[in-house]
Structure 1
Amino acid sequence: MKRFFVRLAFITNFIIVNAQSNVEVISKIYPPNPDPSGIAVSSKDRVFLGFPRHADNHKEFALAELVNGKLIPFPNKDFVYPSTKPYQDWLVSPHGIYMDKNDVLWVLDDGKRSGIKEIPLGAAKVVGIDIHSKKILHSIVIPKTVLSDDSHYNDLRVDLSHGEKGTIYIANSGFGEYYSLVVLDVATGKAREVLLNHNSTSPELGFMGFLEGKPLVYDFNKQTFPSGGADGIALSPDQKKLYWTAITGRKLYSISTDLISNFNTSEQTIEKAVQLEGERPACDGLAEDEKGNIYFGAFEQQSIVKRKPDGEYQLISHDKENYVWPDGLAYRNGYVYVTLGQWNRLPGFNNGKDLRKPPYLVVKIKSE
């Protein structure tokens, strides 16, 4: 039997949704605030959230810090609200966000706004922000040699062990039938797209999944749930191995970062080096910890699941009522943080009806 508890704290209150799974709701987001997607957490447990515009071209902030239960535009209002400035000077539609070991917040802007086909040059980019000074350290535009209106730059990881200032890996889940990984060199801005429409980055044909108890079959021309190619992405603790998943699929893949970070490695060599790591839950985002565990937001089971380095899987938390489309995941200091965006309830998947039920929850789950 599920029990609900309310505890009042000096600054804010929080709810343990399920005492057995040790889940804490750290934010309840109501309109007109937008629906969150990406999440990142600093070494001191500061929480940052991204609010993309590709599904809902909202006019609110695109990036915020959660401070004492309130959403504060970050790093400043000018940078995160819609603007007439050049696209590279503001966040158009940030999707995946990632915190590195130096507390630099890396923001992946997919540049896509609902109702607008084009992704203008400068809109799709990766921005690195020092969270202490709020200074923008890096702004790396995805160049025309790689940029495609059919791309969906979904999530990212930053590898500080390769390249002079690091290497960025981006999962492109595709707005059209166009799926890949993108590699960016931080120091030079050089970009490369690899594994374009490769089986490891593409949806699995014939995929059938359960969404809130309903069986749904993947059909690109008649989409009834969020779908696409390469989406979740993660790094091993030593940054020697890159993992990724397709949102429409059940397989986990990996590759050596020594290979994929090297711009001289041929496409053929990269394709041959892709490793199948086995089956995993159908999921959206991933998170990883310092022990090599990988966390999945299992949208069919409405659960958070951990994969140990030996390949064993463990249920971390389950909530049939509240875990509606676990989206962004982040790990920090023994906890997994999750945004619950209810994306499968968007009008585009439900005959024009918006079935989302605010508030949109952000939860914190003990990982052991």
Structure 2
Amino acid sequence: MRSGVTPKLVAWDTTTNQLSRVIYLPPPIAPKDAFVNDFTIDGRHKKIFIADPAGGANAALIVVDIATGAARRVLEGHRSVVPENVDLAIDGRPIQVKGANGQLVTPHIGVNPITEDLENEWVYFGPMHGLSLYRVKAEDLTNESIDAPTLASRVERYSAKPICDGITIDKDNNIYLGNLAENAIGVIKSDRSYQQLAKSDQLSWVDSFSFGPDGRLYAVVNQLHRSAALNGGENVAKAPYFLVEVRALAAGLAGR
């Protein structure tokens, strides 16, 4: 993340416990301010779709071909990936970072949450600091013959959403997320309505949703907003940190 090191995808073989592959993402695929972040793997089209919030205005999606390692940067600067002018406050405290001059700045982060339905038809995504979730067909994202304006025209607003980090989806197309401002876990149901599933002071920045065996859904609680990076340089996070099991509305794909 913005360290001068070329961003990369690393594939680790958990069966042999060995490094399997490294795919580098040099400029202009990942610019100097890239923050290659959440991603989803499309087994049907053999692609990986990565969210890169970058510097905000230049946020984009990165499409990686698993077979060749070739990558493309798409939808850069589109309304579906750039942050909206909405602030995040948790427990009454605004999220603030130290700017280059040492002054506190309220960050607005672009595209971060991203997932894909189990049929590999629609890719769902949106800016972290944004109140809308968007989607586009995976077939359009992977079609290199579609020019940028045409691809942009095929992105549709799917639903409202709260400010959130990672998301995932079940077999019935219910989309799960952490409602960061509310210390809650919610779901955008297949009818595009929002439902709160759980709320607690202990659900302090819920992220990294993933289905496991038997259709069980898991997430982590990491108190990220209490870390020095997002709390004006002061780390006030305290253990314990949690791995939580969420009662999903339907089963999902293990690993997604």
Report the count of equivalent residues.
245
Alignment TM-score, normalising by the size of structure 1: 0.62
| % identical equivalent positions | 27
Aligned to 1:159: 42
Aligned to 1:317: 198
Q: For the Cα contact (< 8 Å) 1:119–1:148, is it kept in 2?
A: no
Alignment TM-score, normalising by the size of structure 2: 0.87
Aligned to 1:119: 4
For the residue of structure 2 that corresponds to 1:283, the secondary structure is coil
Judged with a 3 Å threshold, the aligned counterparts in structure 2 of structure 1 residues 349 and 143 are, in CA distance, closer, same or farther, namely closer
Q: For the Cα contact (< 8 Å) 2:8–2:24, is it kept in 1?
A: yes
1:172 to 52, 68, 89: 52
Q: Which has the greater radius of gyration?
A: 1
Q: For the Cα contact (< 8 Å) 1:182–1:193, is it kept in 2?
A: yes
Structure 1 gap segments, 5+ residues each: 1-111
| Paired amino acid for 1:310 | D
How far has the Cα of 1:253 moved from its partner?
Answer: 0.4
1:234 to 112, 115, 118: 115
Aligned to 1:268: 149
CA–CA distance in 2 between the matches of 1:353 and 1:129? 34
Task: Tell me if 1:209 matches 2:209.
Answer: no
Q: For the Cα contact (< 8 Å) 1:334–1:366, is it kept in 2?
A: no
Aligned to 1:191: 71
Q: For the Cα contact (< 8 Å) 1:150–1:177, is it kept in 2?
A: no
Q: Deviations over 1:49-87 (max 9, x none)?
A: xxxxxxxxxxxxxxxxxxxxxxxxxxxxxxxxxxxxxxx
Aligned to 2:23: 140
- CA RMSD of the aligned region, Å? 2.3
CA–CA distance in 2 between the matches of 1:217 and 1:335? 34
How far has the Cα of 1:366 moved from its partner?
Answer: 1.9
The 5 A counterparts of 1:1-368 are 112=1, 117-121=2-6, 124-162=7-45, 166-175=46-55, 177-205=57-85, 207-214=86-93, 222-224=104-106, 227-320=108-201, 322-332=202-212, 333-368=214-249
CA–CA distance in 2 between the matches of 1:175 and 1:362? 30
| Paired amino acid for 1:131 | T
How far has the Cα of 1:197 moved from its partner?
Answer: 1.7
Judged with a 3 Å threshold, the aligned counterparts in structure 2 of structure 1 residues 343 and 147 are, in CA distance, closer, same or farther, namely same
Structure 2 gap segments, 5+ residues each: 250-256
Q: For the Cα contact (< 8 Å) 1:297–1:304, is it kept in 2?
A: yes
